[in-house]
Amino acid sequence: MVSLKDDPEIAAGPRGLPRVVDIAQAAGVSTATVDRVLNNRPGVRAATVQRVLKAAAALDYLPDGDLYAAAGQKPMRLSFLLPAGNNRFLTGLGEMIRRADSMLAPHGVKAQVEFIKSFNPDLLARSLFQHGRRADGVAFMALEHPAVREAVDALADRNVPSVTLISDILNCRRAGYVGLDNRAAGRTAGYLIARFLKHRPAKVAMIAGSLSYRAHEDREMGFLHVLKEIAPDIEVVGLREGHDDEGKSYRQTRMLLGLHPDLAGVYNIGGGAEGVARALKETRREREMVFIGHGLTTETRGLLIDGALDAVITQDPRNTLSACVGIFTNLRAGRPAMQAVESPRAEVIFRENLPKNMLPDE
């Protein structure tokens, strides 16, 4: 407990350390307000409490781990709902969140992760309702469906904010979105394929996880539009859904290769890259086909190294988690949801620029 004794204007620790008056100046409040916050007394607005604690932490007056104890706040309980299945990037993201206790503790956050059967909007909606009863906020990978919108709006009615991850949903009261500009990601993939193929006449195909994800639909649109603009001689001969599953993606790729023996490129919009690569290797096409995918994982890293995969469009999962926590922390403090929150950036990874520490399972 902090005591200001006789004169709050000069209260301080050992000579040279920050004083309460320094915290007051940094936070733009009176020293009496600082006294009330640090001693957990009533009468200070939540947003002001957060500003004082942030100033105290920045000046090393109060250790980060004591911030929420000083404020008398319980840890914020966040639920992360991610699709179950074989998408290694999403699985790795969920496991990273489960291991992030030490990172989240200074922010007063406790995180829970649940993997839900993929591509099932009714099950996702039920999970949103269930977690909304016991969590202070819910982050989830959205499916475009009325039941999901209804669940998001119901949570908002109960003052439980929700944030969409990776794939967004519109026309509902979600608090924010954390993910790539997926239209731009699809355009990037189209640009890369056009450059690899030197804009010559050729056939290419797409394999999506599911177009019930807005992210995959937006990537498809971006891919088609940029090819029409810069490489009109490249023909897109098919879009198949692989449901982020290695086996299904393998079968869809084999079918495309059978129908189009002169196929020159594949854009894998979601997961299941290992299945696409297996089909290319079995038909001895991995060296001549252009293959662009999404999500840097241990598996896609290996495919880049052996040359089956030409490029991966990805985002740093740690930045995804940080942005989520930033949104929920802002809302708890009464600030705008996206204030000072940096959106994840798309990165294009080739064999020659592979990072050493950007995998979700590291």
Tens of pLDDT, residues 252-262? 999 999 999 99
Q: Please give, one letter per residue, the 3-state secondary structure of 19-71.
A: EHHHHHHHHCCCHHHHHHHHCCCCCCCHHHHHHHHHHHHHCCCCCHHHHHHHH
Q: What is the pLDDT of residue 106?
A: 74
Q: What is the pTM of this model?
A: 0.80
Q: What is the pLDDT of residue 83?
A: 95
Tens of pLDDT, residues 64-109? 555 555 555 678 999 999 999 889 999 999 999 999 987 888 778 9
Q: What is the pLDDT of residue 103?
A: 81
For the record, the structure tokens of 20 come out as 């309460």
Tens of pLDDT, residues 133-160? 999 999 999 999 999 999 999 999 999 9
Q: Residue 123: left if φ>0, alpha if ψ -120 to 50, beta else—which one?
A: alpha
Q: What is the pLDDT of residue 66?
A: 55
**Average pLDDT per 10 consecutive residues for the chain, totaling 362 residues:** 40 55 90 81 73 79 56 82 93 94 83 93 97 96 97 97 97 97 98 97 96 95 98 96 95 97 97 97 96 96 97 95 94 91 94 80 52
Q: What share of the chain is helix, strand, coil (3-state, %, to 5)?
A: 45, 15, 35
Q: What is the pLDDT of residue 14?
A: 42
Q: By the 8 A CB rule, do 208 and 220 touch?
A: yes
Please state, in angstroms and rounded to a whole number, the distance separating the CA atoms of residues 171 and 330: 22
